[in-house]
Structure 1
Amino acid sequence: MQAKVLKVHPQDDVIVALTDLKKGETIIFENETYLLQDHVAAKHKFAAKDFAVGDLVTMYGVLVGKAMQPIPRGGLISTANLKHAASEYSSRTKQYTWTPPDVSKWQNRTFNGYLRSDGKVGTANYWLFVPTVFCENRNLDIIKDALTKELGYGKSQKYQTQARQLVELYQQSKSAEVIAQTDFKLYTEQFETKRVFENIDGIKFLTHQGGCGGTRQDSEILSKLLVGYMDHPNVAGVTILSLGCQHLQFDQMQQHIRERNPNFDKPVYFFEQQSSQSEEQLLGDAIKQTFVGLIEANKQIRQPAPLSKLVLGVKCGGSDGFSGISANPALGYAADLVVALGGSVLLAEFPELNGVEQELVDRSVDDETANKFIRLMKGYSAQAQAVGSGFDANPSPGNIKDGLITDAIKSAGAAKKGGTAPVVDVLDYTEPVRKPGLSLVCTPGNDVEATTGKAGSGANVIVFTTGLGTPTGNPVCPVVKISTNTKLAQRMADIIDLDTGDIITGEATIESKGEEILEFCLKVASGEIIPKAVQLGQDDFIPWKRGVSL
């Protein structure tokens, strides 16, 4: 039988409802009796004791809020009576000791990836088109239209088919009322989708709104991010389109390539519009040269690689009150398995580490690592506060509606997806992963900006947990979607890959789901499973301009 409630940490003074609870209901939990003073919806919390105004509230074993009104034992915890509060943090206070999980069953396992000359391993094989400036986005759109379907990377035509049917009804002089009431069956129009290049997983286009018109710092950061994607192990080659007069110049990108990876040897084709005879020549030459490059890139095949070559990005978005109880801890266990196997894990979203900073500081392997995290975190927080939008403004209306009523509650649950391993490195935005183990990456919490940044730092698989559902993906890095609850997995089955709702019902454990997540990631890394985000073409790419974004 499913338990009705849960206390996440022994020190907590709030209790989580795992199912809807009614006002007046008596809950017996851990030899304590609670008479509910309010209706408590699943994912929300009630008080385990009486709180007076100003009393501090603990969940996940950390400070998550301050009572703004008296809250009786058994009363609903809500935005009406609780305000965000988080503990202060400073330098390391202790030496961290970690006991890795048992990974003997994976010790001799491999995955089939693309082995690059610099020692990195790709989980996919893409050709990348990059504009140095937004002025070239339209030209990339033309190239995309010309190449994707012809090379066998076209997507479903069902919506085009529906649009055609609508036009036909209109041309038959059907009224708006008749058209609105017509039931269209969305079917996929059949066309040849066999790849011309069997070993090329796709052609990706990093359109963006930068490169000129902003600050020089914006262009420099964009350059480093684009170079991170060019250097990504899932990328076989790159075609760059430039206008010519913009801030972001090709020689700047070349410098950043040399700084990031002195052994970079991928083919890079550069075309500048203001130096060409015509737009027609520019596009024609870019298409022809890229096609020649694809012929060579297609010669690369998947080969066995050790699990130490996995770089796992962990992300949550559209989070709910179950995120920190089911999907995130399960993903955290999978992350610990990857670290124990010699792989790398990237935990980002600095606004969603608010309140657990001291834990991460104390888990840092040395003072230098800890101090870099403190410097980046405090700088980010100060920047947000300077414009009147501190980290406490992070939870979205959807988060709050589904139980994440303060940023500290959201953050304490979000941090669980990083597991328990020591923090071996801290990376500023666009910095590449350098060490095996758990690294922190400075990004916003914003789903696409964070995912974009993680891939830019070198993640070759990203696992994304969600309680409300989100269509976020990435152009070059496969994104695996995990639901925190079974209702979501059933309702949005078209975007969810795995469900951890059985942790809530008691049918599975965090450890068993963590192992399932790792096994799924190995199949994704080998190309045996294509995640839903990749199937749906969710190629989201939004560079962070280092402004205030939560």
Structure 2
Amino acid sequence: MSELKKVLKVHPADNVLVVLLDLNAGDQVVFEGEEVQLKTDAKAKHKIALVDFNEGDSIIMYGVLIGKASQKIEKGAVLTTANVKHQSQKVKEKEFFPNWLAPDVSKWQDKTFMGYHRPDGQVGTKNVWLFFPLVFCENKNIERLKEVFEKELLAPKTDQYQLLLRSLVNGNEEVEQSHKKQSVFENIEVKFIMHQGGCGGIRQDSESLARLLAGYVNNPNVAGATVLSLGCQNLQISIFKKALEEINPNSSKEVLIYEQQQMGTVDNMLQTIIKDSYEAIKRANDIQRQPAPLSKLKVGLECGGSDGFSGISANPVLGHVSDLLVALGGTSILSEFPELCGVEQELVNRCVDEQKADKFLKLMKDFENSVVAAGSGFDMNPSPGNIKDGLITDAMKSAGAAKKGGTSPVVDVLDYGEYVTQNGLNLLCTPGNDVESTTAMVGSGANLVLFTTGLGTPTGNPIAPVVKVSSNSVLANKMNDIIDIDTGSVISGQQTIDEAGEVLLDYIIDVASGKTLSKADLLQQDDFIPWKRGVSL
């Protein structure tokens, strides 16, 4: 490999280099005509000093402040948590209004995807009948319904692990394969959500959960829902119905709601639910896929299990896809507010008006204050896996994570549980937790999620396809059962970010049309975790 491919400088203003392959102390690399000798071993994805740092000096990457030297760092030495501490740029008021140069989208201007059209104008990439409880007390009944409906309606898959255990129990390597049958319905999926909320916490958490669940019902991927209530919980049926009304007052979706304390025995309730839901599912099965413009795509942008390459390969590729979709009239959602720490000024400047900018800053400040009050801080965001793979400060992680949002203007800023109403790039306040964030974006209307990972994350969602994009080819080859698209070609120089983004856009059109199943859907990875912002009472 040539010297130039051993290291990378992300932004002209940076004073650090990204190591692209393992280097040893004493190795020499030449960057832009300047020779740099490694003072320490440096693994791929980590960063080395391009200049000598004194204690307190600013460290710049992605063109922004990502830390301060906590001690003297020699040129050519690797940056670690021992010699660098988190520091981020101080945000000021909005400095200017965005003047965006949209990418050329003529290649996709007339393209469509095959989706499920809803009466309110939204278009789904799936057609799902959804079962869920308003309170955790009903989880057992949801589990029972899941067992019944999946056994009778869905084509069972041979469980290789069940067969393995059976062979061990029988002492026989040859075991009979289970008989396969066809799914009863062709155009409808039946999915089930369970959670630990709805009661026991503060009232605000129940109201927040109501908005989230209402968002799932309103999501274009959902044809209708069966909802179970106990009766005495904080999240009353009336609160849930109010949340539905606020999101979409003209919704015509079928929503079947049952309250156990009014219906009596479990047997009486389950028999009624099964009969009613079966008839509703049969009606929902009549809906067929029809062509829809790409402007009907609402894509969530997520990263999890990030590594030192995420911010220079997979995340910028998502950013280009986001820009392409926005230019086509579609929608993208950027969440994970703790991972926007340090890039607030850029996002403030990209907001279409001062009201949106002020709302973003207030949500960020309130979130950070709540974290500090709990005895932590945004600087504690990088996980052990992140740090091991080169993301040593929150500001460094954030600067790379924000690349998922591309360069388009921010048309709206949403608090957790608010539903997307504006086409374009939306900011959504969520935690950095992978599943909590993905759960929230789908609850705000995302009909597909793009999820980057450098370490390998199997996250999926009950109602929206989650397309997994790896930042490096080693991961894509090692965990090919969970990775859909590999952007390691950007690191190797085989593709540009724009070229990889175009490949990804074509891929998600196939996923949105039902031609290709995401790996998360193949694995039936149906993750759902609401954000619990309050305490238990």
Of 147, 150, 154, 1:145 maps to 147
Question: Residue 455 of structure 1 corresponds to which residue in structure 2?
Answer: 442
**1:421 counterpart = 2:405:** no
Question: Residue 180 of structure 1 corresponds to which residue in structure 2?
Answer: none
Cα distance, 1:79–1:188 mapped onto 2, change above 3 Å: farther
Q: Is the 8 A contact 2:205 2:534 kept in 1?
A: no
Question: Residue 268 of structure 2 corresponds to which residue in structure 1?
Answer: 281
Question: Residue 179 of structure 1 corresponds to which residue in structure 2?
Answer: none
Count of residues paired in the alignment: 533
Unmatched runs of 5 consecutive residues or more in structure 2: none
Cα distance, 1:251–1:17 mapped onto 2, change above 3 Å: same
Question: Residue 40 of structure 1 corresponds to which residue in structure 2?
Answer: 42
Q: Is the 8 A contact 2:155 2:180 kept in 1?
A: no
Amino acid at match of 1:194: Q
Amino acid at match of 2:40: D
Give aligned-pair identity as a percent: 57
Question: Residue 23 of structure 1 corresponds to which residue in structure 2?
Answer: 25
**1:225 counterpart = 2:212:** yes
For residues 208-249 of structure 1, the C-alpha deviation after alignment (integer angstroms, 9 at most, x for no partner) is 001111111111011110000011100011001111111111
Question: Residue 446 of structure 1 corresponds to which residue in structure 2?
Answer: 433
2:59 alignment partner, SS class: strand
Of 384, 399, 419, 1:412 maps to 399
For residues 405-433 of structure 1, the C-alpha deviation after alignment (integer angstroms, 9 at most, x for no partner) is 00001000000011110001000001001
C-alpha separation between the residues in 2 aligned to 1:244 and 1:163?
Answer: 42
Question: Residue 510 of structure 1 corresponds to which residue in structure 2?
Answer: 497
2:45 alignment partner, SS class: coil
Q: Is the 8 A contact 1:157 1:189 kept in 2?
A: no
Of 359, 371, 377, 1:390 maps to 377
Of 272, 282, 299, 1:295 maps to 282
Cα distance, 1:250–1:188 mapped onto 2, change above 3 Å: farther
Of 491, 512, 517, 1:530 maps to 517
Question: Residue 164 of structure 1 corresponds to which residue in structure 2?
Answer: 166
For residues 9-46 of structure 1, the C-alpha deviation after alignment (integer angstroms, 9 at most, x for no partner) is 00000000011111101110111110110111100010
C-alpha separation between the residues in 2 aligned to 1:48 and 1:95?
Answer: 34
Q: Is the 8 A contact 1:149 1:193 kept in 2?
A: no
Q: Is the 8 A contact 1:318 1:467 kept in 2?
A: yes
**1:154 counterpart = 2:144:** no
Amino acid at match of 2:513: S
Question: Residue 102 of structure 1 corresponds to which residue in structure 2?
Answer: 104
1:106 alignment partner, SS class: coil
2:226 alignment partner, SS class: strand
Per the TM alignment, residue 163 of structure 1 is displaced from its structure 2 partner at its CA by 2.7
Per the TM alignment, residue 254 of structure 1 is displaced from its structure 2 partner at its CA by 1.0
Q: Is the 8 A contact 2:314 2:470 kept in 1?
A: yes
C-alpha separation between the residues in 1 aligned to 2:176 and 2:375?
Answer: 48
Per the TM alignment, residue 127 of structure 1 is displaced from its structure 2 partner at its CA by 0.4
C-alpha separation between the residues in 2 aligned to 1:547 and 1:280?
Answer: 35
Q: Is the 8 A contact 1:484 1:500 kept in 2?
A: yes
For residues 191-218 of structure 1, the C-alpha deviation after alignment (integer angstroms, 9 at most, x for no partner) is 3242211001x21111000111111111
> Structure 1 segments of 4 or more deviating over 6 A?
none
TM-score (norm 1): 0.95
Cα distance, 1:408–1:155 mapped onto 2, change above 3 Å: farther
C-alpha separation between the residues in 2 aligned to 1:100 and 1:309?
Answer: 18
Point out the more displaced range, 34-43 or 270-279. Answer: 270-279
Q: Is the 8 A contact 2:204 2:534 kept in 1?
A: no
Amino acid at match of 1:198: E
Question: Residue 478 of structure 1 corresponds to which residue in structure 2?
Answer: 465
Q: Is the 8 A contact 1:199 1:298 kept in 2?
A: yes
Per the TM alignment, residue 274 of structure 1 is displaced from its structure 2 partner at its CA by 1.2
C-alpha separation between the residues in 1 aligned to 2:432 and 2:62?
Answer: 20
Point out the more displaced range, 45-54 or 246-255. Answer: 246-255
Q: Is the 8 A contact 1:68 1:83 kept in 2?
A: yes
Amino acid at match of 1:106: W
1:540 alignment partner, SS class: coil
Question: Residue 377 of structure 1 corresponds to which residue in structure 2?
Answer: 364
Per the TM alignment, residue 155 of structure 1 is displaced from its structure 2 partner at its CA by 4.2
Alignment of 1:41-190 (within 5 A): 41-169=43-171, 189-190=177-178
Q: Is the 8 A contact 2:462 2:526 kept in 1?
A: yes
Cα distance, 1:343–1:421 mapped onto 2, change above 3 Å: same
Cα distance, 1:337–1:165 mapped onto 2, change above 3 Å: same
Q: Is the 8 A contact 1:158 1:189 kept in 2?
A: no
Per the TM alignment, residue 367 of structure 1 is displaced from its structure 2 partner at its CA by 0.1
For residues 73-99 of structure 1, the C-alpha deviation after alignment (integer angstroms, 9 at most, x for no partner) is 111111110000001112201222110
Question: Residue 323 of structure 2 corresponds to which residue in structure 1?
Answer: 336
Question: Residue 177 of structure 1 corresponds to which residue in structure 2?
Answer: none
Per the TM alignment, residue 165 of structure 1 is displaced from its structure 2 partner at its CA by 2.9
C-alpha separation between the residues in 2 aligned to 1:366 and 1:526?
Answer: 35
Per the TM alignment, residue 153 of structure 1 is displaced from its structure 2 partner at its CA by 4.7
Q: Is the 8 A contact 2:206 2:234 kept in 1?
A: yes
Question: Residue 324 of structure 1 corresponds to which residue in structure 2?
Answer: 311
Per the TM alignment, residue 400 of structure 1 is displaced from its structure 2 partner at its CA by 0.3
2:153 alignment partner, SS class: coil
Per the TM alignment, residue 262 of structure 1 is displaced from its structure 2 partner at its CA by 1.1
For residues 325-372 of structure 1, the C-alpha deviation after alignment (integer angstroms, 9 at most, x for no partner) is 100001110110000000000000000001000000001110001000
Amino acid at match of 1:525: A
1:150 alignment partner, SS class: helix
Cα distance, 1:276–1:90 mapped onto 2, change above 3 Å: same
Amino acid at match of 2:187: N
Question: Residue 12 of structure 2 corresponds to which residue in structure 1?
Answer: 10
> What is the alpha-carbon root mean square deviation over aligned residues?
1.4
2:151 alignment partner, SS class: coil
Of 350, 354, 370, 2:337 maps to 350
TM-score (norm 2): 0.97
Question: Residue 197 of structure 1 corresponds to which residue in structure 2?
Answer: 185
Per the TM alignment, residue 131 of structure 1 is displaced from its structure 2 partner at its CA by 0.3
Point out the more displaced range, 207-216 or 148-157. Answer: 148-157
Cα distance, 1:189–1:425 mapped onto 2, change above 3 Å: farther
1:335 alignment partner, SS class: helix
